[in-house]
Amino acid sequence: MHPLYSELIEQSIKAKKHSYSPYSKFSVGAALLTSTNKIYTGTNVESASYSLSICAERVAFTKAVSEGEKKFKAIAISASIKDYIYPCGACRQFMYEFGKDLDVIIIKSKKDFLIIKLADLLPGAFDKRSLKL
């Protein structure tokens, strides 16, 4: 395991603190590690117009990409439940844009987590090659 993954897990758990989730009351935290070893965090942000809510993973990615980052090693995801939190389908597709080799760290607790390649979470993905660009 990469030496920074424990730090990434801790930051994901901490990121939940700022979750804005008055409707679902379900807090999610994400911490994204870039290829240059920088960490960007994110949390879910909900809206009274429910469908406008955005997941923690996409917040972390948009923060990083808007700062010029495009290459990533891993994302750690945690939630306010005592079980593993798998990324939703929309986030799997969104993250795939930046690489199928991303390590997705699915956290149950600080010491109990799974590391799964994004390609294994989204087999047969639609991506830029599908557009033949």
SS3 38: coil
Catalytic residue, from 7, 10, 57, 97: name it.
Answer: 57
Provide the CA 127 distance to its chain's centre, in angstroms.
18
Provide the CA 86 distance to its chain's centre, in angstroms.
9
Contact pick of 87, 105, 118, 122 for ligand THU (by CB under 6 A): 87
| 39 lies in the site for ligand THU, by CB under 6 A | no
CA–CA separation, 44 vs 26, rounded Å? 9
CA–CA separation, 106 vs 99, rounded Å? 17
Contact pick of 9, 56, 95, 105 for ligand THU (by CB under 6 A): 56
| 88 lies in the site for ligand THU, by CB under 6 A | yes
Please tell me the count of residues contacting ligand THU according to CB under 6 A.
Answer: 13
Cα–Cα nearest to 36, from 73, 88, 85: 73
Stretch that binds ligand THU, among 19-27, 33-41, 68-76, 119-127 (CB under 6 A): 19-27
Q: Catalytic site residue 57?
A: yes
**C-beta of 133: minimal distance to ligand THU in Å?**
28
Residue bearing tokens 């597709």: 93
Residue type, 24: S
Which residues of this chain interact with ligand THU, rule CB under 6 A? 21, 24, 26, 28, 44, 46, 53, 55-57, 87-88, 91
